[in-house]
């Protein structure tokens, strides 16, 4: 399906980076992001959806540090 979208600058940059990384079209990248968002929204507990615009992630056995974030950013080329 073909359509025209107006994207926020940050969303456009994320989609463009995904498209470049995965060697797909910008439209395919936006479609993938929309699917991921739709699945996450469908799986989020109702309380998380109603109380905040940010979903609460399940607890993990590790603390996420700035070093984790920097390493992932390096791996993703961000």
In the chain, domain spans: 1-54
Mean pLDDT confidence for 64-74? 88
pTM over 0.85? The answer is: no
26 burial level (CB within 10 Å; 0-12, 13-18, 19+): middle
Write the pLDDT tens digit of every residue in 54-68: 666 777 788 888 988
Mean pLDDT confidence for 6-14? 92
Task: Tell me how far apart the alpha carbons of residues 11 and 21 are, in angstroms, rounded to a whole number.
Answer: 15
Q: Is 17 in contact with 73 (CB distance < 8 Å)? A: no
Write the pLDDT tens digit of every residue in 14-64: 999 999 999 999 999 999 999 988 887 776 665 555 566 666 677 778 888
The structure tokens listed for 72 are 């992932």
């Amino acid at each position: 399906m073909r359509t025209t979208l107006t994207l926020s600058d940050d969303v456009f940059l994320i989609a463009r980076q995904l498209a470049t990384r995965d060697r797909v079209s910008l439209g395919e990248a936006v479609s993938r992001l929309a699917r991921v968002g739709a699945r996450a929204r469908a799986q989020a507990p109702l309380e998380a959806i109603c109380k905040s615009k940010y979903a609460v992630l399940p607890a993990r056995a590790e603390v996420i540090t700035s070093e984790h974030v920097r390493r992932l950013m390096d791996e993703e080329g961000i």
